[in-house]
Chain A
């Protein structure tokens, strides 16, 4: 059973109390954007084998959204953090980099 700590209410919840909202930190595109951008926003996903930043809804708890970083192979949860940010906290990125040599946030985000 996957367990995540909701940063909003502080409860550690089983996955049965949570709903996954897919890849986090997508750049949103709306009407008027290029077809490629709109398509990528709606459908194209990184779907990585390894570290995944994702959204979760604490549906049977406080009812609020939050973010999590999880490994899609081992199910290790590296940490959870606020839904109000468009980038994971630097400490979390540093922690994951230490645990996973070779992994870099830049590969995930495409940021320079």
Chain B
């Protein structure tokens, strides 16, 4: 793989940029791999990458029914933060955020990580109290977050209306090292690195069945024929229930649609991420100038990647109230993704009753930020056959044991 650099751009310019290698290969599948990963979203690709990088397992295929990064990884609003409440959550989300900081260098691919700062507005006293508690927990966890007052909110984000009629801004939870990244680039960066390690990324190859014997998993049926493997990792977000069914398992997961939309591009007006969870909306500005906007999930099981229109209306209404300046902006595009909501709204990184069959899912509405950390923990679980300290709290058995992660990391709106 040739390295990307400013020098490479200059050198390739001499050949009118005709000499670039493909970023990843598109091979035909072999009949057998040591490890098969189902789903080439960020989490599946990161799992494969860390299997190779941290555990030297490189005979790996990643099977994708559509195109890589075409699921939620390419549909999200790219918010990255780690200021959660519980130790177990902070451990994995903060590892993830730290890995984002060096991802462009580590993978030699510009993922445009921008730690521009992120605020979650406190618009009720209850919310303010909750965020102060999180800040206290974070300081014990060694994580830099703070509770800031309305004046500082206005300084950091001049276009905000802090004395709105319904919900004046009482303050905000502020994580200065939170921000955004380019979602597609994250998938592409991992794909390129995996392909470079000799792994096979096979697109347009849906898994249609899971073969198992008495001793555990044997392999998968796919659109391109059967493929054997020793270990199988399923990382398919909203489709986890469907694939689990192929192995005769049921998961504590329900799939719902979550939407996002972007406005027409405007000049820079917002250089932080703002989340307003009381009124249900969040917003950031992309490098192209579009305002990237997200809101709430539909309240019912759903596999149509579209979502209900009234959520758009509610979200926009909430944001116009918070940012009156945007009231006459046109919205350009709207789309949806199918997110995987668990019973306690925390993710699952876990083995299953079927030996050598592993699931990574349940990231719901907030798993973009977790891609590197999740891949790291999942790779460790798959390589060793048992979870390391990062993945251990997120095992499936917690639902039976009543040992929930008491935190809505993937709750309908707050990312």
Contacts and interface: CB of A to CB of B under 8 A. Distances in A.
A40 B303 contact: no
B7 interface: no
A19 interface: yes
Interface in A1-29: 1-2, 14-16, 19-20, 22-23
Contact of A36 (B299, B303, B309, B400): B400
B130 interface: no
A1 B300 contact: no
A104 to B, nearest CB: 15
B399 A49 contact: no
Interface in B357-415: 399-400
Interface residues of B, number: 22
Contacts of A23: 301
B254 A15 contact: no
B343 interface: yes
B309 A44 contact: no
B139 interface: no
A74 interface: yes
A99 interface: no
Interface in B200-256: 239, 241-242, 250-255
Contacts of A1: 308-310
Contacts, number: 67
A94 B207 CA distance: 31
A74 B304 contact: yes
Interface string A40-71: 10111111110010100000000000000010
A47 B299 contact: no
Given A19-B299, A45-B241, A73 B400 contact: no
A72 B256 CA distance: 9
A15 to B, nearest CB: 6
A22 B304 contact: no
A44 B240 CA distance: 13
Contact of A45 (B242, B253, B302): B253
Contacts of B251: 44-45, 47
A86 interface: no
A46 B250 contact: yes
Contacts of A16: 310
A48 B255 CA distance: 9
Interface-central residue, A35, A47, A52, A72, by most chain B CB under 10 Å: A47
A15 B303 contact: no
Nearest to B244: A47
Contact of B302 (A35, A40, A44, A72): A72
A35 B228 CA distance: 34
Contact of B343 (A2, A42, A75): A42
A35 B399 CA distance: 10
Contact of B301 (A19, A39, A47): A47
B147 to A, nearest CB: 33
Interface-central residue, A14, A36, A39, A54, by most chain B CB under 10 Å: A39
A66 B302 CA distance: 19
A20 B300 contact: yes
Given A20-B300, A45-B241, A15 B308 contact: yes
Given A16-B310, A45-B254, A35 B400 contact: yes
Contact of A49 (B252, B299, B303, B400): B303
- In the complex, the 6 A-B pairs of residues with the closest C-beta atoms, listed nearest first: A43-B252, A47-B241, A20-B300, A43-B343, A39-B400, A44-B250
13 contacts: A14-B310, A22-B254, A39-B252, A40-B250, A43-B343, A44-B399, A47-B251, A48-B241, A48-B301, A49-B303, A54-B301, A70-B300, A74-B304
Interface of A: 1-2, 14-16, 19-20, 22-23, 35-36, 39-40, 42-49, 52, 54, 70, 72-75
